[in-house]
Amino acid sequence: MNKKLKAYFSDFVFGSVDGLVTTFAVVSGVMGAGLSSTVILILGFANLFADGFSMAASNYLSTKSENDMGQNRKNAFGAALATFVAFIVVGFIPLMSFVFDFGSANYQVTIILTAVAFAVIGYVKGYVTGKSKGWSTLQTFGIGALAAVIAFYVGYVLASIVN
């Protein structure tokens, strides 16, 4: 990986993992609450773009602040763009099965696609950083799985309280 792209790799990982975690959490929370696929798509896309923008803006401001303090590690706009693009592209994965409608298997397909995406991100992170690819894969997958379980049960509990 060339030096310029490597400078934005952490922004890509940050955006990818957060996009995947938050979008999968929205899907899992809605599934836990027993709500419709329409609700998943509305909340999922609202999260995808609003949170993606928020993450990019926060990364821009953070990187700009570091640069203003003389750390000048990378271009703030480039960091924000890498975060936003990664968030949107990778964060779309949990919504794919609902967009393309696999019927009653939508959530199962989402779980599989999201698990594979977490594993790939973890593996690539381990590869690029020169750390254990296996540990990096498990760590990234574990974080995503834990977030999904939390969201599913929060949705389930809140739906049972409200109904």
Q: What is the DSSP string of 50-108?
A: HHHHHHHHHHHHHHHHHHHTT---S-HHHHHHHHHHHHHHHHTHHHHHHHTT-GGGHHH
Question: Could you read off the pLDDT tens digit of each residue along the chain, which spans 163 residues?
Answer: 677 777 888 899 889 999 999 999 999 889 988 999 999 999 999 999 999 999 999 999 999 998 888 887 789 999 999 999 999 999 999 999 999 999 899 999 999 999 999 999 999 889 888 899 999 999 988 988 898 889 888 888 988 888 7
Its pTM stands at 0.88
